[in-house]
A and B are shown apart, each in its own frame.
Chain A
C-alpha cells in the first residue's frame, strides 16, 4: 500500500466518493486529489515531516467506507465519557460517520445554533457551508490536508450565529471502532460569527485491536470579536495513527484558546495553523504530551501574524519516557505590516529515559520591525535537587517524581477555562503519569 493505491482507488471510486459526500466537499475534491498526486505521502525528505516517520502506517491495507454504510456501533452504549458531569452538548463521530439518533436530536441548542453532520447541513443549508468550506485547507500546503480533501466525505459542523453564546461546552467524541483495519477521513467545519462564543472539547478514542488511520481536517472561522475555546484530548491506542489538521482564521478582536493534550496514542500528528487576519486578536495555543513505549507525538504549528496589533502565546510541554518520541515545530511568522505584534513561544521537554527523544524546532520569521517576540526551547531531566528536597520531607521518591512531573505540565492544564474539564484532565494526567490506564479506559469495550 502506498500513495499509488489511493490514487488508483480514487480513479476507480471517485463517483462513489462524491455521491456519498457532503456536496460542498466535492467542489474542491479534484483539486485536492491533484495536489495529493503531486505530493504523495510525506517522507523524511519532506521538510515539515523530517522527524516523523510514519513507518508502516501506509503499508497497512485499510478498509475505507466510501459507501457510507452505517457501523453497527451505538456510541451511547459503548462510550463512557472521560469527562463525566461536564454538562455538554454531546455529539459522536463513529469512524468517519456523524452519529445521530433521538438522543442527539433532543438536545436543545440556543436559538440559531446549528450542530450536525456536515453532509446534512451542506445539503439543507448550503449557504452556511459553502462560503467557508475548504477556504483554509486550500491555503495550507500539506500532503495530509490534500489527502483529506480528496477522500473526506462528511464530518462535524457547528455554526454559532452573531452575538450568540453557547451556554454549555460542546463535546465531539471521535470513536474509532472496527474489527478490521480501517481508515477514516473526516472534515469538520466550525463557524462563529461576529461576537459569537463557544467552547468545543474534542475527544479522540479508539476501541478494539484493529489498526486505525484517521485524517481529520478541522476548519475554524472566527468572526470579529468571537470567542472560541478548542480542547483536544487524545486517548487512543498504540494501533492508531491520528493525523489532525486544525486550521483557524481569526478576524479582528477575536479570541482563541486551543489546548491539545495527548495522553495515549500511537502515532499522532497535529498540524495547527492559525491565521490572524484581523487586528487586535488574541491567541493562546498550548498543549502537552505524556509519551511512553513507542508513542510518537508531533505537534507542528504555525501562527501567522498577518495583521497589526495581535497577541499570541504558545506553550507546549512534553514528558517522554521509554522509547517515545516527541516532535515540536513552531513557526511564528510576522508579516511586514503586522506592527505591534506580541508573540511568545515556549517549548519545554523532560526526557525520563535515555531512549526517549525530542526534536524541537522553533522558527521565527519576523518581517515587521516594531514587535515583541520571544521563544525558548529547553530539554532536560527532573530536577535532582528538588527530588532530594522533597524526599527529605518524607515524600517517597516515586511520589516526588510524580509531583514534579505534574508541576511541569501544571501551566498547560491551567489553560483550561472550563473548571470541570480542568479538574478531570488533572486527574487523567495524574493517572497517566502514574502509569495507570495505558489504553483508553472510557469505553465498555476495553474493560
Chain B
C-alpha cells in the first residue's frame, strides 16, 4: 500500500491575470520520482512556484493536498517546514548573509516546527560537514555569503546541499540540470539519489532526457499549455527526445 503524499486536482493558476496552469492533475506517492517535461512556456516553472507559494501567482481553481493538509492555505515558509523543498532554477545570491547563518536559521525553523530544540553549534557544524561530503561541496563555499559569486554549477550543488540539510519529504528540482556540465550533473544527481528514501518523493522538472539517465523516474509527465497531456514511464522521455515536442503539439491539437 503506497502512501499518497501530494495530490493536485484541477489546478488553475495565473500571473498578472494571465492563466498559465489550466487544470493540472497529478498524484505523487511516497518513494516515487516523477519527471515533468515540456516545451518552453508550458507552465513547468509555474507549477513549482505555485506549489511553493510564490506570491506572484494566484490560484484560481483546484486544490493541492500535501500529506492530508491543504497546501494552498499555507504561507511559503510553512510549506517548506512541512517538507516541501524547491531546488531553484535560478538560485538567488544573497550578499552579506553567510551560508552558515542562513542554514542555521532554516534548520532551526524546521526543528521548531517539529517541536525539536535548536541544534547546538557543534551538532550543527557536524551536520554541515556530513552533508557537504554528500554533494562533494567545497568548504570555501559554505564560508561565503549565500550563492554570492558561485558559478552556475556551484549554485546547483548548493541547492542539493541545502536539500540534504533540510531532509524534505517532497523535493521539486526545477531544471537542476540547466547550466551543468557532465561532471557536475553526475555529482548533483548522485546527491539526489543518495537522499532518496521510501518515505520521500521527488518531482524533477527538465527539458532534456539527459538528467533522467542519472535520476531514473518512475513516471514521466508531459506538460503542455498548462495541462498534463501525457503520462508514461521513463521510455516516454526517450520517445520525446526522439520525436521532439512537435509530436506532442500535433497529438494534442
Contact = CB atoms under 8 A, between A and B. Distances in A.
B92 A389 contact: yes
Interface stretch (B1-9, B98-106, B124-132): B98-106
B76 A388 contact: yes
B96 A392 contact: no
A408 B94 CA distance: 10
Contacts of B94: 383, 386, 389-390, 403-404, 407
Contacts of A406: 96-97
Given A389-B88, A403-B102, A407-B145, A394 B81 contact: yes
- With a 10 A CB-CB cut-off, give which of A393, A399, A403 has the most chain B CB atoms: A393
A401 B93 CA distance: 15
Nearest to A397: B77
B55 interface: yes
Interface string A396-433: 11010001101110110000000000000000000000
Interface string A360-402: 0000000000000000000000010110111111111101000
A49 B166 CA distance: 52
A140 to B, nearest CB: 35
A393 B97 contact: no
A404 B98 CA distance: 11
Contacts of B109: 393-396, 399
Interface residues of B, number: 29
Interface residues of A, number: 21
B101 A392 contact: no
Interface in B47-81: 52-55, 75-77, 80-81
Contacts of A385: 92
A394 B92 contact: no
Nearest to B76: A391
A375 B80 CA distance: 41
Nearest to A395: B105
Contacts of B81: 394
Contact of B80 (A386, A394, A403, A411): A394
A396 B96 contact: no
A61 B55 CA distance: 53
Contacts of A390: 94, 102, 105-106
A184 to B, nearest CB: 37
A394 B111 CA distance: 10
B95 interface: yes
B230 interface: no
B110 interface: yes
A359 B88 CA distance: 37
A334 to B, nearest CB: 30
B70 to A, nearest CB: 18
A395 to B, nearest CB: 5
A392 B97 contact: no
B195 to A, nearest CB: 16
Contacts of A410: 95-96
Given A389-B91, A393-B109, A397-B75, 6 more contacts: A386-B93, A391-B80, A395-B77, A406-B96, A406-B97, A407-B94
> Which are the 10 A-B pairs with shortest beta-carbon distances?
A407-B96, A410-B96, A394-B80, A393-B106, A389-B92, A391-B76, A394-B109, A407-B97, A391-B77, A394-B81
Interface of B: 52-55, 75-77, 80-81, 85-86, 88, 91-97, 101-102, 105-106, 109-110, 113, 145, 162, 166
